[in-house]
Chain A
Amino acid sequence: MLKKQRPSCRVSFLHHQHLIHYPVFNSKSSGQVVTSDPLQFSNFKKKQSLASPDIAHSAKIVGPQRLTPQKGQQPNLVSLASVQFENWGESTMAETSPRTDTSTDVDTDDKNQRFEAGQSAMVVASDSSDRSKDKTGDQKTLRRLAQNREAARKSRLRKKAYVQQLESSRLKLTQLEQELQRARQQGIFISSSGDQAHSMSGNGALAFDIEYARWLEEQNRQVNELRAAVNSHASDNELRVIVDGIMAHYDDIFRLKGIAAKADVFHMLSGMWKTPAERCFLWLGGFRSSELLKLLISHLEPLAEQQLVGICNLQQSSQQAEDALSQGMEALQQSLAETLASGSLGPSGSTGNVANYMGQMAMAMGKLGTLEGFLRQADNLRQQTLQQMHRILTTRQAARALLAINDYFSRLRALSSLWLARPRD
């Protein structure tokens, strides 16, 4: 009786790769033996132990099962065993004690089922030496094998579903935690002070976050509309309408950012309203125009000579402007640090001269006030870069540019989600 080769053989080796050699039993009792693969098992006398002392308990081997018993042979204990058990570490032969299952793939359910089935199969097998009995025995065991496989498969599916559920729950949990943290930050303002001014500034950050989320949704909708139009070969006029709409939409967010910066400049500078990966590239509260243009240059070809020059110049100008603003920010940081460090620090501390301390603080406060100016300049830079780009390019090119920009940021946001949901040990 030929056993079919099991299609889903898995052979996995661990570091110490033990090839398992099973003894070829004497020809008196055994029939043909497949010898090409050391992993294959030969027939053996029913009473003989399969387990060779070589079995590495940590190796998971599924032997291929092309076994060819001959007539009148004792049943293929080996084939039963090997087809049945995926994990050789778990030796279930009568003579050997089952070992610890080191596989993480195998559910306990599986193991037990197989173990039991193995035992009964063995019992069945070893009972019969008669051919007819063999047949029924084999049929029973065949059925049992099938049931086993089915059970194992179901178990694996259940486990997979469970794990997926866990992962999505974890993602949800992280998102909720973030929201909670943000809300708490604002919530503290709101709850602890009935003062209008305070609660306004507290709400400033939260309000912006909400506005931004809404803006993003609308942005996606417009971009999808643009993409559909481009793919359906819409006319230039149609494209222009959509492109103009998107440009105006960009103006909206810059306006909103300006308002929010007055309320809470640190929130805007922190970029907490963006996703983590976006924040990685944060420059003065937003994206770097020069980088965006670099990205576009490669995606916008072919460009007319004049346009290429225009875009390259724009990229260079924005880079120079960014550098200038960055240096201004550094000067601000330095100045602030010097202000706070002036006078005596340490044990004598600020108790020394209250007037000095207050003067220091007043100066530092003044310097902090300039932060909003920098943020505004940075946003102006971003806004005007987009506008200049729009001016230099044709409608069709501008459409492609806007799609490219949106795709890039979408990927960055998707990356953030993936990162937050990544499995961790």
Chain B
Amino acid sequence: MERVLRLGSQKAAVIFSTSSCCMCHAIKRLFCELGVNPAIYELDEDSKGREMEKALISLLGRGPSVPAVFIGGKLIGSTDNVMSLHLSGHLIPKLKEAGAIWL
């Protein structure tokens, strides 16, 4: 858990993913489109991946463990949350605030 939280705060934008997850791919593409350069951690390529996955599940409450997005060290959530934020126009301001996008 600490690992997850620590890694989640190390950069302005962090995405926890698995290499085979296509929804993660979608979120990565979205961030790329927005001009963000997030830190990406593939759980299936990490030795501690299993534990991190469990931690994320408990953090997210329900649904898949990945993708899990942190912005400015704070957990934003999974795809649902990211999409909602973006449509309501709050994602970009948050990213700017965290310094993930340079205007």
Interface residues of A (CB under 8 A from B): 310, 313-314, 317-318, 320-321, 323-325, 327-329, 331-332, 335, 367, 370, 373-374, 377, 380-381, 384-385, 388
Docked Cα-Cα span, A318 to B33, in Å, equals 12
Q: Are A328 and B84 in contact (CB under 8 A)?
A: no
- List chain A residues, Cβ under 8 A from B86: 317, 320-321
Contact among B22, B30, B79, B87 with A385 in the assembled complex (CB-CB below 8 Å): B87
B34 at the interface (CB under 8 A from A): yes
Docked Cα-Cα span, A331 to B22, in Å, equals 6
- List chain B residues, Cβ under 8 A from A377: 23, 26, 79-80, 83
Nearest Cβ distance between residue B88 and chain A, in whole angstroms? 6
B61 at the interface (CB under 8 A from A): no
Nearest Cβ distance between residue B40 and chain A, in whole angstroms? 15
Contact among A321, A325, A331 with B87 in the assembled complex (CB-CB below 8 Å): A321
Please provide the chain B residues from 50 to 103 with a CB less than 8 Å away from any CB of chain A in the complex: 64, 79-80, 83-84, 86-89, 91
B25 at the interface (CB under 8 A from A): yes
Docked Cα-Cα span, A355 to B84, in Å, equals 42
- What would be 9 A-B contacts, judged by CB atoms less than 8 Å apart? A314-B87, A321-B30, A324-B29, A328-B26, A370-B22, A377-B23, A380-B80, A384-B83, A388-B88
B20 at the interface (CB under 8 A from A): yes
Nearest B-chain residue to A323, judged by Cβ: B33
Nearest Cβ distance between residue B22 and chain A, in whole angstroms? 4
Nearest B-chain residue to A318, judged by Cβ: B87
B27 at the interface (CB under 8 A from A): yes
- List chain A residues, Cβ under 8 A from B25: 327-328, 331
Docked Cα-Cα span, A318 to B27, in Å, equals 14
- List chain B residues, Cβ under 8 A from A335: 20, 22
Q: Are A314 and B89 in contact (CB under 8 A)?
A: yes
Q: Are A373 and B84 in contact (CB under 8 A)?
A: no
Q: Are B22 and A324 in contact (CB under 8 A)?
A: no
Q: Are A317 and B26 in contact (CB under 8 A)?
A: no
Docked Cα-Cα span, A201 to B44, in Å, equals 33
Docked Cα-Cα span, A226 to B42, in Å, equals 51
- List chain B residues, Cβ under 8 A from A320: 30, 33-34, 86
Q: Could you say which of B25, B87, B91 has the most chain A C-beta atoms within 10 Å of its C-beta?
A: B87
Interface residues of B (CB under 8 A from A): 20-23, 25-27, 29-30, 33-34, 64, 79-80, 83-84, 86-89, 91
Contact among B27, B29, B79, B87 with A317 in the assembled complex (CB-CB below 8 Å): B87
Q: Are B89 and A324 in contact (CB under 8 A)?
A: no
Given contacts A335-B20, A377-B79, A380-B80, contact A324 B26 (CB under 8 A): yes
Docked Cα-Cα span, A335 to B26, in Å, equals 14
Q: Are B89 and A317 in contact (CB under 8 A)?
A: yes
- List chain B residues, Cβ under 8 A from A317: 86-87, 89, 91
Nearest Cβ distance between residue B45 and chain A, in whole angstroms? 16
Q: Are A321 and B83 in contact (CB under 8 A)?
A: yes
Q: Are B26 and A327 in contact (CB under 8 A)?
A: yes
Nearest Cβ distance between residue A248 and chain B, in whole angstroms? 19
Docked Cα-Cα span, A176 to B20, in Å, equals 43
Nearest Cβ distance between residue B32 and chain A, in whole angstroms? 9
- List chain B residues, Cβ under 8 A from A374: 22-23, 26
Contact among B29, B79, B87 with A323 in the assembled complex (CB-CB below 8 Å): B29
Interface contacts beyond A323-B33, A327-B25, A367-B20: sample of 15 additional A-B pairs, CB < 8 Å, sorted by A = A317-B86, A317-B87, A317-B91, A320-B33, A324-B33, A328-B29, A331-B25, A367-B22, A370-B21, A373-B79, A374-B22, A374-B26, A377-B23, A377-B83, A384-B87
Q: Are B30 and A329 in contact (CB under 8 A)?
A: no
Contact among B22, B87, B91 with A332 in the assembled complex (CB-CB below 8 Å): B22
Nearest Cβ distance between residue B25 and chain A, in whole angstroms? 4
Nearest B-chain residue to A391, judged by Cβ: B88
- List chain B residues, Cβ under 8 A from A318: 87
Nearest A-chain residue to B91, judged by Cβ: A317
Q: Are B87 and A328 in contact (CB under 8 A)?
A: no
Docked Cα-Cα span, A305 to B89, in Å, equals 16
Nearest Cβ distance between residue A294 and chain B, in whole angstroms? 16
Docked Cα-Cα span, A25 to B103, in Å, equals 94
Nearest Cβ distance between residue B72 and chain A, in whole angstroms? 20
- List chain A residues, Cβ under 8 A from B30: 320-321, 323-324
Docked Cα-Cα span, A367 to B33, in Å, equals 25
Nearest Cβ distance between residue B19 and chain A, in whole angstroms? 10
Q: Are B20 and A325 in contact (CB under 8 A)?
A: no
Q: List 4 tightest A-B contacts by C-beta distance, closest first.
A: A328-B26, A324-B30, A332-B22, A331-B25
